[in-house]
Amino acid sequence: MLSLCLESRLDELQRLEAAVENLGEQEQWPPNLLYQAKLVLEEVIVNIVNYGYEQREGYKIDVDLISEPDTLTIKIADDGRAFDPLSQAPTPDVDANLEDRPIGGLGVYLVQTLMDEAHYRREQDRNHLTLIKRRDG
């Protein structure tokens, strides 16, 4: 179990990463799970800082990780503007050729693909994102 309250700045990712590595070590996560957890957290938090808070500092992002033998649950909450990354972000065309391939849009797509479940809700003026990864090997 890990609970962190981050400031709305990208350099907070370093503090988060160190804490996640610690938890992964304690809970004996396989290397892939650690990589995936760090990646989805970076992608979500970059979105919140850049779009939710429009790069304004002085706001908070709550991050909770619950590591159980069969699942990892990641909860991220912020009080930035209402934004559901899961339904509002365009899906990138990953089959396009190099010339036509648009830049960007991969972050949320990676989150949705790497996690088994992703849920968003807006509650009491806060965005809540819950990500679940099953540890099936």
Q: Interface residues with other proteins (CB under 8 A)? A: 10-11, 13-14, 31-32, 35-36, 38-39, 42-43, 46, 92, 94-99, 101, 103-104, 106-107, 109-110, 113-114
Residue 27, classified by CB atoms within 10 Å of its CB into exposed (0-12), middle (13-18) or buried (19+), is middle
Q: Which is nearer to other proteins, 99 or 125 (CB)?
A: 99
At its nearest, how many Å lie between other proteins and the CB of residue 125? 26
Residue 86, classified by CB atoms within 10 Å of its CB into exposed (0-12), middle (13-18) or buried (19+), is middle
CB contact at 8 A, 106 and 92: yes
Q: Which is nearer to other proteins, 10 or 82 (CB)?
A: 10
Q: Which is nearer to other proteins, 1 or 56 (CB)?
A: 56
At its nearest, how many Å lie between other proteins and the CB of residue 124? 29
Q: Which is nearer to other proteins, 56 or 126 (CB)?
A: 56
The backbone region for 130, taken as left when phi is positive above 0, alpha when psi lies in -120 to 50, beta otherwise, is beta
Q: Is beta strand 60-67 parallel, antiparallel or unpaired with respect to 71-78? A: antiparallel
Q: At what angle do helices 106-114 and 31-47 cross, to 10 degrees?
A: 140
At its nearest, how many Å lie between other proteins and the CB of residue 30? 10
At its nearest, how many Å lie between other proteins and the CB of residue 123? 27
